[in-house]
A and B are shown apart, each in its own frame.
Chain A
Amino acid sequence: MKKVFLISAIILISNFAFAQGCSDAGICSIGHGFQSTDKDVKNTIEIATIFGAGESDVKYFSPYISYTRQINDKIELSTKVTFSTASGSFGTRGAFGDAFLIGKYSFAAKNNTQWSTLLGWKLPFTSSNLKINGYSLPLDYQSSLGTFDLFLGTNFKYRKWDFNAALQIPVFNNNKNSYFAAYSGTDDFPTTNLFERKSDALFRATYTLNTKNQKFSFKPNVLFIYHLGEDSFENIFGKRENFVGSEGLTINGNLISTYNISEQKSIELSIAAPFVVRDIRPDGLTRSFVLALHYKISF
């Protein structure tokens, strides 16, 4: 029962917290896949909730649950299921978002360095065309972008530094969004009818600081995401148009603070905000501030 109270507390605290900060189609949190679990435990369950503030008046509440299985010293498999609720002038819409399947292979460590690689897959639960009362909603209100994405990544660890590089490639597009700004009553969001999204490339550098008693750790990190092309949509005449300015760089700052309750349990607070954003982000990944709270249990 204590666990239930703890989970409830996490959800409530994060719900009342003021904000969150990164644009995440999945790639933002992919660095988590590189974080090694204790070699002595085989299983880790993580429950997290993310609160974010987006463009216009949109607020997000996005919990997820993940399970990681350490197959052996080198191979680790993770699954994650996300849920997202967006609230604003269009109302409130919540739904399951995506499922992630991620495999990690770690090479043998030597001379304080270690390489690992990551291969993952994202499967959407929706086609990004959730509606309220029959009205089409912009992507800012959708729990998933509706794309089946491939993740390819690598990590280099050197002493207290971690460097990640990853690609998120939409392999199959099932985005059936039908939002037209002209028919919506607001010009806060661009038309995203039958939206098509380009790939992202990520680079992250993380430094880890541990307190002497190993109870707390702090991981300041900087995250560069380059959107590799202009997204597009279908206009009212059925013709495809590019979003000029949707290609480009986003730079996020992130601080992850972890408290190790015991060897098997930890609680983590992550605060992120973007410093540099693209000219236009029609994909709705417009968080101006993100606050995430994670609870991990290993066994």
Chain B
Amino acid sequence: MKTKLFLLTFLTFLCSCEQEGDLTQDAVPIVVDQPNTVNKYQGVFLPTSGINGTGIVKIYLENNQYKLALENYSISSGPDLKVYLSKSNTPTEFVNLGNLNSEIVYFIPQNVDLKQYKFVLIHCQQYNHLFAVAQLIQN
């Protein structure tokens, strides 16, 4: 019995092994510096079939750097959600901005021509499932 208990404890220890490190601490929210920024584009997320939620996306220009921020964002959670800047409302030609985290501001790479990207998508990369689409409208 002791042997079984030992093995069970050991296996539980192995299975529960996850600990944050220096590079995986909670992100410090970056606030868009409103007085020095221009809200260039914005859109409202529409969830796809079977997905619930709402949210707004805004793209700011600050010191010649485009930044993307999510506001009032609340959409069904998924296992591997990414934020895509996309040329269409499906993930065919896109820029992957990284993991979805509504607390952070995404820096858009300098070589991206925003005029070609009319949509922001929330897409589950692991299971290739589209969660929400926002069409960008120029302000």
Contacts and interface: CB of A to CB of B under 8 A. Distances in A.
A238 B23 contact: no
Nearest to A194: B125
Interface stretch (A81-89, A222-230, A261-269): A81-89
Interface residues of B, number: 31
Interface in A79-105: 83, 85, 87-96
Contacts of A95: 15, 17
Given A135-B99, A237-B95, A92 B3 contact: no
B80 A176 contact: yes
B110 interface: no
Given A134-B101, A176-B80, A237-B95, A4 B18 contact: no
A121 to B, nearest CB: 23
Contacts of B24: 90-91, 132-133, 135
A92 B19 contact: yes
Given A91-B18, A92-B17, A94-B14, A184 B126 contact: no
Give the interface centre of B2, B14, B21 by most chain A CB atoms within 10 Å. B21
B33 interface: no
B109 interface: yes
A180 interface: yes
A193 interface: yes
A183 B17 contact: no
Contact of B96 (A83, A186, A236): A236
Nearest to B16: A94
Interface in A88-147: 88-96, 127, 129, 132-136
A180 B126 contact: no
A178 interface: yes
